[in-house]
């Protein structure tokens, strides 16, 4: 007797589930069942039909659907979340229906109208990990989306799914400009705290930089405590001016606790109010108002941080707090200038970096002991070198020389500040001083493991030293702490992925970085060319290589007789790779792209 052949196919599987179903039913069973029935009938069914999918199974609080394409599945999921969110705006918070959706492209077994197998299981596990209100997809699904939908997904790392042998790469959809983090339970056993931007209550709206600076310093102080995971400013500041329930903000940021406050500056006095909220219940745990002279602003920050930590994590020890504090600038005007410059640190529009440099130079002139101002100057001069020093030997590049000197001066002034060690380690790496870079970046990470900038720089250093596996783990920590990270994080992540042979993922990140203006990113275009070369996408590799050569030729200030071969040598040098195998991997990709490597 012949055994019937099992029918299989590759399909896009969508699994959706109602968050907190038991709570909704317990509160009012009849109302909850009616609302969920309407969700399936009025929202899901027409959208699934529109995007050419079919419902495989309804399970009360969840469903499974399949689609002939990943594009259809993801577009349908995005439309469902958008429509549901709009509908639920008028519903009381405790009665709102929120969905998790997981999507996977994989092999399934056909059993009548049902689907079985790993393809379904992975989608179900992704749904369970998915942050409420968004969509979590597998790496296999993400690979099919490039350039096909006007949606943005953030890479959130490899997940070890229950009963799935291999780790699964995952990507979370950006919902309304806010990419929710994975639930805290899947990331860490440490409580997570998000500090929202303090409101500027001063009469002058231009004083917003001061309230932002106070917020950032509170984030920095809290980040020193290993007992906490502190969400980075880029993520928490995305909620500025938005009228949203703090419980929802907590869910979207993956934070159990939210800090909010306001700053009013009147002459030489400052009034700061702050409160700590438990995000799950919305309960106010602690609140305080500080009305002090401007000179006391650091004492206020310190006191706020201590009270928050004491409330959230009782085991924090006073001696650890003391050892972690940084020196304070002796002149408050210098601090004010530093805060103004700090707001411009990630702004690369014409003139912004020059304004930042001018503010920092004024700050150190007023207070020559202010270490943080020197770290700001180090980065400002390094950015100048990046823009204006292509082809220049580093030992003759005045901007690079100044960047290193300012970082070293900061260390002399304050050897207890982890950001100072991070800055010096970064600068040493750009001078290929690998031993000193490792020493200072290791120390910075030990002093403050909750700083995402320290983590991403440490990750990049691990790649440079030939340890990309360790680098990737640290980069994923940086992305989890700062889900709204600036795009330059991907500069380093793309190189680590390239070193690991994950060329498709590296190429996606490099495409995102260079999409708008490839000519402005010659380094990225070269790495993109190399990634395409290893992937066998030779025509695209050649095009990227041509853009790299054209861009470097335009900006080159080195030997005027130099050509493409020298451009490649320069690129390899400023990629700061210590290990010959990593250099050869890069050169091999560039050769495949038609460059003289």
Q: What is the pLDDT of residues 457-488, one digit of tens each?
A: 999 999 999 999 999 999 988 887 777 788 88
Range 16-21 average pLDDT = 79
3-state helix, strand, coil in the chain (%, to 5): 55, 15, 30
Reported as a single tens digit per residue, the pLDDT across 97-147 is 888 899 999 989 988 888 888 899 999 988 887 877 889 999 999 988 877
Closest of 137, 177, 125, 147 to residue 483, by C-alpha: 177
pLDDT the model gives residue 427: 97
Which whole number is the average pLDDT over 235-251?
76
Give me the half-sphere count of Cα atoms (radius 13 Å) on the Cβ side of residue 268.
4
pLDDT in tens, 292-331: 787 776 777 666 665 665 555 433 333 333 333 444 555 6
Integer Cα distance of 283 and 297 in angstroms? 27
494 pLDDT more than 80: yes
Mean pLDDT of 268-289: 81
- Rounded CA-CA distance 17/309 in Å is 35
Q: Dihedral angle at the C-alpha atoms of 547, 553, 559, 563, nearest 10 degrees?
A: 50
pLDDT of 433 strictly over 90:
yes
Percent of the chain with pLDDT over 90: 38
Per the CB < 8 A criterion, the answer to whether 334 and 308 are in contact is no
Per the model's pLDDT, the better-predicted residue between 42 and 541 turns out to be 541
3-state class (DSSP) for residue 206: helix
Return the pLDDT at 316.
Answer: 31
How far apart CA 422 and CA 210 sit, in angstroms, is 24
Query: In this predicted structure, what is the pLDDT of residue 308?
Result: 65
| C-beta atoms surrounding 240 within 10 Å | 12
What residues form DSSP beta bridges with 168? 159
d(CA 214, CA 198): 8
d(CA 589, CA 572): 12
| pLDDT band at residue 23 under the 50/70/90 scheme | low
Backbone angles phi, psi at 130, to 5 degrees: -65, 135
pLDDT value of position 181: 41
At 186 the pLDDT is 38
Average pLDDT over residues 498-524: 91
99-111 vs 8-18, strand pairing mode: antiparallel
Contacts of 400 (CB under 8 A, 6+ apart): 381, 382, 385, 389, 394, 430, 431
Radius of gyration of the chain (CA): 26
- Residue 317: the pLDDT is 33
User: How do 53-58 and 153-159 pair as beta strands?
Assistant: unpaired
Residue listed under structure tokens 């290990």: 579
How far from 97 is each of 19, 133, 260, 566, CA to CA, in Å? 7, 9, 26, 60
Residue 489, sorted as left (phi over 0), alpha (psi -120 to 50) or beta, turns out to be alpha
Q: What is the pLDDT of residue 16?
A: 92
E strand residue ranges, 61-138: 62-67, 99-111, 114-116, 135-138
What pLDDT, on a 0 to 100 scale, did the predictor assign at position 233?
73
Exposure of 20 by Cβ count < 10 A (0-12 exposed, 13-18 middle, 19+ buried)?
middle
The mean pLDDT of the chain is 83
Mean pLDDT of 24-49: 82
Beta bridge partners of 57: 64
**Dihedral of alpha carbons 289, 293, 299, 302, sign:** positive
Reply yes or no on whether the pLDDT at 353 is more than 90: no
516 pLDDT higher than 90: no
User: Is pLDDT at 438 greater than 90 in this prediction?
Assistant: yes
DSSP letter (8 states) at residue 20:
T
Bridge partner list, 260: 275
Here the tokens at position 208 are 């917003």
175-228 residue pLDDT tens: 544 344 443 333 444 677 888 888 888 777 777 777 787 788 778 777 766 557
Sorted by where each starts, the structural domains of the chain and their CATH numbers stand as: 8-180 (3.30.70.1230), 187-324 (3.40.50.10610), 487-597 (1.25.40.10)
Q: Are 550 and 557 in contact (CB under 8 A)?
A: no
Question: Residue 104's closest CA among 50, 61, 66, 153?
Answer: 66
Count of C-beta atoms within a 10 Å radius of residue 591: 16
């Amino acid at each position: 007797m012949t055994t019937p052949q099992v029918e299989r196919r590759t399909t896009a599987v969508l699994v959706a589930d109602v968050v907190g179903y038991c709570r909704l039913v317990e509160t009012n069973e009849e109302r909850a069942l009616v609302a969920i029935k309407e969700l399936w009938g009025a929202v899901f069914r027409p959208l699934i039909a529109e995007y050419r999918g079919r419902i495989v199974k309804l399970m009360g609080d969840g469903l499974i659907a399949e689609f002939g394409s990943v594009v259809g599945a993801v577009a349908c999921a995005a439309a469902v979340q958008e429509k549901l969110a709009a509908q639920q705006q008028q519903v009381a918070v405790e009665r709102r229906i929120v969905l998790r959706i997981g999507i996977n492209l994989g092999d399934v077994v056909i059993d009548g109208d049902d689907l079985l197998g790993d393809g379904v299981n992975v989608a179900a596990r992704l749904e369970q990990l998915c942050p409420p209100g968004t969509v979590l997809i597998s790496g296999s699904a993400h690979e099919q989306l490039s350039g096909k939908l006007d949606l943005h997904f953030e890479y959130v790392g490899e997940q070890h799914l229950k009963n799935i042998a291999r780790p699964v790469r995952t990507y979370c959809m950006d919902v309304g400009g806010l990419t929710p983090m994975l639930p805290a339970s899947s990331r860490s056993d440490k409580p997570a705290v998000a500090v929202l931007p303090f409101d500027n209550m001063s009469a002058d709206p231009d004083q917003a930089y001061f309230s932002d600076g106070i917020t950032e310093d509170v984030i920095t102080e809290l980040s020193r405590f290993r007992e906490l995971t502190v969400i980075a400013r880029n993520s928490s500041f995305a909620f500025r001016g938005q009228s949203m329930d703090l419980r929802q903000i907590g869910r979207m940021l993956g934070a159990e606790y939210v800090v909010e406050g306001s700053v009013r500056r009147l002459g030489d006095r400052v009034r700061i109010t702050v409160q700590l909220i438990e995000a799950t219940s919305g309960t106010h745990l602690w609140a305080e108002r500080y009305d002090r002279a401007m000179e006391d602003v650091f004492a206020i920050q310190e006191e706020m941080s201590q009270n928050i930590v004491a409330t959230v994590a009782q085991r924090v020890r006073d001696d650890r707090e003391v050892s972690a504090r940084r020196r304070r600038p002796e002149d408050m005007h210098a601090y004010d200038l530093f805060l103004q410059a700090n707001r411009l640190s990630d702004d690369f529009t014409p003139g912004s970096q020059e304004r930042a440099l001018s503010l920092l130079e004024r700050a150190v002139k007023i207070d020559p002991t202010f270490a943080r101002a020197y770290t700001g100057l180090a980065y400002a001069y390094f950015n100048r070198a990046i823009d204006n020093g292509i082809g220049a030997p580093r030992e003759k590049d005045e901007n690079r020389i100044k960047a290193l000197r300012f970082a070293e001066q900061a260390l002399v002034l304050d050897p207890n500040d982890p950001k100072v060690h991070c800055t010096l380690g970064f600068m040493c790496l750009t001078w290929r001083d690998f031993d000193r870079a490792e020493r200072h970046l290791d120390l910075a990470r030990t002093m403050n493991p909750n700083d995402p900038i320290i983590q991403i720089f440490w990750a990049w250093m691990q790649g440079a030293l030939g340890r990309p596996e360790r680098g990737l783990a640290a980069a994923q920590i940086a992305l989890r702490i700062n889900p709204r990270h600036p795009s330059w994080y991907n500069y380093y992540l793309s190189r680590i992925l390239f070193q690991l042979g994950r060329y498709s993922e590296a190429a996606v990140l490099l495409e995102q970085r260079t999409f708008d203006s490839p000519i402005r990113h010659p380094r990225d275009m070269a790495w993109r060319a190399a990634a395409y070369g290893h992937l066998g996408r030779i025509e695209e590799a050649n095009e990227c290589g041509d853009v790299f050569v054209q861009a470097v030729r335009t900006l080159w200030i080195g030997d005027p007789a130099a050509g493409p071969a020298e451009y490649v040598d320069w690129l390899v040098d400023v990629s700061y790779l210590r290990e010959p195998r990593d250099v050869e991997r890069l050169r091999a990709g560039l050769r495949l792209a038609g460059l003289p490597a």
